[in-house]
Amino acid sequence: MHTDSKLEFEFAEASIQDIAQMQIVRNSVTENKLSDPAIISDLSYETYLNGKGNGWVCKCGNRIIGFSIADLLEHNVWALFVLPEFENRGVGKQLLHRLLNWYFSKTEKAIWLSTARNTRAETFYTKQLWKPVGQLENGEIKFEMSHETWKNIRSA
């Protein structure tokens, strides 16, 4: 449990029962908005939570305010989103750290993610010591985190 002034944040592994609230979080973001919320179905979440990867949620009371999902097969961060009103409180960083701890307990292969240029997400990942390694066809920056870098961050 983590406390931010008077708010208490509780972190846990995500479950199938969390998907509806995770969808609300995903569709509430101001950056990286989906052009059509139906693009990512509940089944997509289930696929990751039932073997393709793993996920974590952050709750404030009974409400999910953020979540992260790692894709172990494609070696990437499939999702990391926080409700706009809970940004800049350490929730994203805590979710990312849980994801990375789990991921690197399963493999030493580098993990990647992508995000749009000139966004808060780009700044966030840069501050978390993710390395820009290229650009995707859609113009997004591709970042990587190596096992070695994560070990060094964790031991610092």
Rounded to whole angstroms, the Cα distance separating 23 from 42 reads 8
Domain 2-155 has CATH 3.40.630.30: yes
pLDDT of residue 156: 77
pLDDT of residue 30: 74
pLDDT of residue 18: 97
Nearest Cα residue to 65 out of 31, 35, 88? 88
Taking only the tens place, the pLDDT of each residue in 41-85 is 889 999 999 989 999 999 999 999 999 999 999 999 999 999 999
Amino acid at 38: A
For residue 4, pLDDT beyond 90: no
Residues comprising the chain, all counted: 156
Taking only the tens place, the pLDDT of each residue in 108-125 is 999 999 999 999 999 999
Q: What is the mean pLDDT of the chain?
A: 92
